[in-house]
Structure 1
Amino acid sequence: MIIVFTSQRDTHSDVVVSRLTAAGADVVRVNTEELPGEADFRLRLGGSGWSGEVALRLGGRRVEPERVRSVWVRRPSKWGPSPRLLPWEAAFATAETRDAVLGLWSSMPCLWMSRPGDIEAASWKVEQLSRAGAAGFAVPKTLVTTDPDELRRFYDECAGAVVVKTFTGGASAQAAAAADPGRDIPHVGLSTTLVTPEVLARADLLRHSPVLVQQQVPKRVDLRVTVVGEEVYTAEIHSQELAATRVDCRRFDLPVRYAAATLPDEVAERCVRFVRGYGLEFGALDMVETPEGDHVFLENNPVGQFLHVEQRAPELRITDAVVSRLMRGAHG
C-alpha cells in the first residue's frame, strides 16, 4: 500500500496517484482536509507493531498500517475538524489528530518521501545556506536583518545589486494584504525581488519582521535541480531573457524558456549528498550558473513543484521517477 499525504487541490498528487493506479499500485490518498472530521481510527499496538485501520468515509478508503510500504508527504494543508465543534474544540481535535497520524506513520518501517520532521528541518533557509557552504557549494553574500540601516549598508556594499527574499514565500503576508489592502505590511508580495530605491525607501518596515537579503549573482542561466532518491534532473531556466527586475524565475506564469541540462558529476553528486543529508528522498534545488561556469546554491525546497519543469522540458521525466521510487518502496 502507498499513502499519498497531501491536500485536496494539489495537482501534483492528482498526476502521481493516477500514474500509480494505472501501474496497479494499491494507493490511498489522504487529504488533511478530511482529518479528523471524515475519518474513523481503529488501531491496536501488538508485538509486531500497529494493526487495524484508519477508515476514510469519503470513498470508503482505508489505511492499514501493516500493509503500508511507501508514504509520499506531498503538501498537506489545513486540517478539517467537524464544523460542529467550537473553535477551541476544533483546535484541540486538530492537534490531537496531527499527533496521532504523524506518530502512527512515523512508526511504520517503510519508504518515506519524505518524513515530516526531515521536511521541516530541511526548510529553514538560514540553516540551508550554512550547510550548503559547508558542503562545498558557493553561496551568495547574505544578510538577515531587522535593521533598516544595516540593509542600507549592505545595499551600498553590493553596489545596489541586491535581492530580498521572504523566509516563507510571503503567503501569509499576501493573505493579510488581501484582507486589509490599505495597510502597509513588510515585504508584502515579495518572493524574490530586486531591491530598488523604492523598496529601500520602505526599509523601516523591517523592524516588524526579519528579511533575508543576498547579493545578486551574475548568471548565465538559472538552474532547477530535482533530486529523486539518487537520481538528478536538471533544467536550465533562461531567465536572463526576461526584464532585469524579474528576479524570481520560478513564477509559472512567466514566459521563461526551459531546457534539459546536465550538471558536472561532482556538482550532481554534491546535490544528492545535500538532499540525502537531511534524510530526504526528494529535493528541488534552485541554483545559478554564472558566466564563468560556477554553480551557486540559492535554496532547496523539500516538497518543491516539478510538473512545470516537465511541461517545459519533457525530457526530464520527474513524475516517472517519483512513481518508480514509491513503487520500489511499496514492493521492497
Structure 2
Amino acid sequence: MTGHAARKAVLVLTNTEDGTADPVIHHLQEREVPVVRMDPGDFPATMKIEASLGSEAWTGSIHDTFRGVDLASVRSVYYRRPSQFTLTDGMSGPEQRWAYREARMGFGGVLLALDRPWINRPAAMSAAEYKPVQLTTAVRSGLAVPRTLITNVPENAVDWATAQPGPVIYKPLGGAFHVEESKTHIVYANQIEDLETLRDPSLSLTAHCFQQWVDKDHEARVIIVGSDVFAVAIRTASEAAYIDWRSDYASHEYEVVEPPPEVREGLRRYMDDFGLTYGAADFVISPDGTWTFLEVNPNGEWGWLAEDCDLPIGESIAALLEKGSR
C-alpha cells in the first residue's frame, strides 16, 4: 500500500486489560496496517478531543499523552470493551451526571459520526443485547428457540413452569455479572428444582427469564466474523458446567464442528437483521442433532477458543478491519 490509503489506521477502542484485542492488533501489524489503540475511558481526564465540522464530516483529532489519531485517517473501528469516562473528582452528583452525558454525546458522538466500517457499531450492539429481541429475531431467522417466559408475577411463573413437559431453568437477562457492595458476583443459569420457590414475593421486584430445559448432549459456541463462521462443540464433565458451561471451564473438551446449513443460513439472516459484523452465538445440541438457539453476544469472547482450537478468528477480524475504508 502506498500514498494516503497506506496511512489510514484501524482505531481500536478498548480498555488496557483487554487481552482479546491483542491478537487482532498483532495480525494487523503483521499486515503492516497502522493501529491506534485507545480507551475512551481516559476522556476527559487524560484524553483530549479537537473536532470541527467541515462540509461533510468532522475533522480534527483525538489524543492522549502518548498517542493520537487524526479523524480523517481512520479506516475502520474495532469496538471492544472501552471503560467508562473518567470524571474529575470534586464534582457534585448532578455535575457528574451532566458532565458524563456531555462526554457521551460529544466525544462519543464524534466517534459515531465516523462513516467507517465498525466491528460492531455500538447502536447495533445495544439493540442486539436484549434477549427478548434476540429470541424473536432468531425465530424470524428460522432458528429453533426454547419456550421462554418473562414475568415478575410469581403465580404466572409457577403456572407456566408447571405446564412445561420437563425441567425449567432461570437465566439472567442482563448478563452474568452482578456487583453488590463493591464485590462482583456471577449469576449463572440454574435449574429450578422446586417450582414452589417461584411463589417467592420477591420475584415481583423485577423481570425474570425462565426457559424450558432443552434435552442436551452438549453445547456449541459459533463465532461469526463477516462471512466467516467458526463453530466449536463444548462438552463438559461436571454437573454445574452441564447446566451452564461458563461455571467450570476446567471441565471442558472442545471439538471444531460444522453447523448444519440451516443454522448457518439462520445466523446470517439474524446478523443481517441487527446489522452486526461480529457475534458469538450459543446453541444447545440435542442427542438427535437438533441445534437450539440460546443467544448471540454481539461482543462475546472468542480468544480462548481460538487458542485451544487453533482457529484463525483474530486473522479474520483483522482482515475485515484492514479492508475498512481506504
TM-score normalized by structure 2? 0.90
Aligned to 1:319: 314
Aligned residue pairs: how many? 318
Aligned to 1:266: 262
> Contact 1:43–1:52 (CA<8 Å) still a contact in 2?
yes
1:176-211 deviations in Å (ceiling 9; x for gaps): 2666x9xxxxxx743311112299367332111111
Alpha carbons of 1:63 and 1:104: their partners in 2 closer, same or farther (altered >3 Å)? same
Higher alpha-carbon deviation: 264-273 or 290-299: 264-273
1:254-295 deviations in Å (ceiling 9; x for gaps): 421111000122321221221122111101111112112221
Structure 2 CA distance for aligned equivalents of residues 31 and 329 of structure 1: 20
Structure 1 CA distance for aligned equivalents of residues 34 and 91 of structure 2: 34
> Contact 1:225–1:284 (CA<8 Å) still a contact in 2?
yes
Gaps of 5+ in 2: 1-8
2:58 to 50, 53, 59: 50
Alpha carbons of 1:297 and 1:84: their partners in 2 closer, same or farther (altered >3 Å)? same
> Contact 1:8–1:33 (CA<8 Å) still a contact in 2?
no
Structure 2 CA distance for aligned equivalents of residues 42 and 32 of structure 1: 14
Alpha carbons of 1:20 and 1:89: their partners in 2 closer, same or farther (altered >3 Å)? farther
Deviation at 1:103, TM superposition (A): 1.7
Aligned to 2:271: 275
Alpha carbons of 1:148 and 1:160: their partners in 2 closer, same or farther (altered >3 Å)? farther
Q: In structure 2, the residue corresponding to 1:175 is in which secondary structure?
A: strand
2:131 to 125, 136, 143: 125
Alpha carbons of 1:251 and 1:147: their partners in 2 closer, same or farther (altered >3 Å)? same
2:155 aligned with 1:149, yes or no?
Answer: yes
Structure 2 CA distance for aligned equivalents of residues 323 and 101 of structure 1: 25
Kindly, what percent of the aligned residue pairs are identical?
28
2:184 aligned with 1:176, yes or no?
Answer: no
Q: In structure 1, the residue corresponding to 2:201 is in which secondary structure?
A: helix
> Contact 1:142–1:212 (CA<8 Å) still a contact in 2?
yes
> Contact 2:138–2:266 (CA<8 Å) still a contact in 1?
no
Alpha carbons of 1:144 and 1:31: their partners in 2 closer, same or farther (altered >3 Å)? same
1:131-162 deviations in Å (ceiling 9; x for gaps): 11111111101100111222222222225511
Structure 1 CA distance for aligned equivalents of residues 214 and 10 of structure 2: 41
For 1:167, the aligned partner's letter is: L
> Contact 2:49–2:107 (CA<8 Å) still a contact in 1?
no
> Contact 2:158–2:198 (CA<8 Å) still a contact in 1?
no
For 2:114, the aligned partner's letter is: M
2:284 aligned with 1:288, yes or no?
Answer: yes
Q: In structure 2, the residue corresponding to 1:126 is in which secondary structure?
A: helix
Deviation at 1:18, TM superposition (A): 3.3
2:205 aligned with 1:208, yes or no?
Answer: yes
Q: In structure 2, the residue corresponding to 1:98 is in which secondary structure?
A: helix
TM-score normalized by structure 1? 0.88
Gaps of 5+ in 1: 182-187
Higher alpha-carbon deviation: 83-92 or 32-41: 83-92
1:84-112 deviations in Å (ceiling 9; x for gaps): 54443333222211112332122222111
CA RMSD, Structure 1 to Structure 2 (Å):
2.3
> Contact 2:158–2:199 (CA<8 Å) still a contact in 1?
no
Structure 2 CA distance for aligned equivalents of residues 328 and 121 of structure 1: 25
Alpha carbons of 1:220 and 1:2: their partners in 2 closer, same or farther (altered >3 Å)? same
For 2:300, the aligned partner's letter is: G
Structure 1 CA distance for aligned equivalents of residues 287 and 187 of structure 2: 26
Structure 2 CA distance for aligned equivalents of residues 293 and 253 of structure 1: 23
Aligned to 2:227: 230
Alpha carbons of 1:307 and 1:70: their partners in 2 closer, same or farther (altered >3 Å)? same
> Contact 2:48–2:64 (CA<8 Å) still a contact in 1?
yes
Aligned to 2:5: none
Q: In structure 2, the residue corresponding to 1:219 is in which secondary structure?
A: coil
Aligned to 1:38: 46
Structure 2 CA distance for aligned equivalents of residues 33 and 245 of structure 1: 34
For 1:149, the aligned partner's letter is: E
Structure 2 CA distance for aligned equivalents of residues 309 and 70 of structure 1: 25
Deviation at 1:46, TM superposition (A): 1.3
Deviation at 1:167, TM superposition (A): 1.0
For 1:108, the aligned partner's letter is: L
> Contact 1:5–1:71 (CA<8 Å) still a contact in 2?
yes
